[in-house]
Amino acid sequence: MKNIVLGMAFMLSFGTFANSSDEVYRNEDQVISPRKYCYEMKVIKQYYKNFLSARPSDNFTLNNYCTAAEAKIWGEQVNMKYARETTYNEFTGNGILYLATTVPMQVASSNCFTVANN
């Protein structure tokens, strides 16, 4: 009989600890949101005529304020966009060629010109 009472007391105390830990994990204040940083991509627009540079290249920088996972997706979208806009023909050597960095680089937040929350 003594063992049954001790066993019941042990089970009740364990259940109390288990319930308290569940409450801790259910608390929404403990959800950690991912940090956002400023990411940058450089793009070069080069004009070609008969395989020669027709005029000086246009360099511009794109900035985005986002998380690391969003930056990866944003970098792929930028590369696909400029790949579609490239009109350079390898056989004639004429057209516009866009060159973009493949991966966004993390820079200081003061370098972000526009803050866009995606």
Q: What is the pLDDT of residues 20-44, one digit of tens each?
A: 544 555 555 556 777 888 999 999 9
Give the pLDDT score at 116.
Answer: 47
Q: Would you kindly state where each structural domain of the chain is located, as residue ranges?
A: 1-32, 37-111
Q: What is the pLDDT of residues 100-118, one digit of tens each?
A: 888 888 888 777 765 444 4
Give the pLDDT score at 18.
Answer: 53
CA distances from 42 to 6, 58, 104, 111 (A): 70, 11, 8, 13
Q: What is the pLDDT of residues 48-100, one digit of tens each?
A: 999 888 888 899 888 888 888 899 999 999 999 998 988 999 899 999 999 88
Separation CA 67–CA 37 (nearest Å):
6
Q: How many alpha carbons lie under 13 Å from residue 104 in its C-beta half-sphere?
A: 27
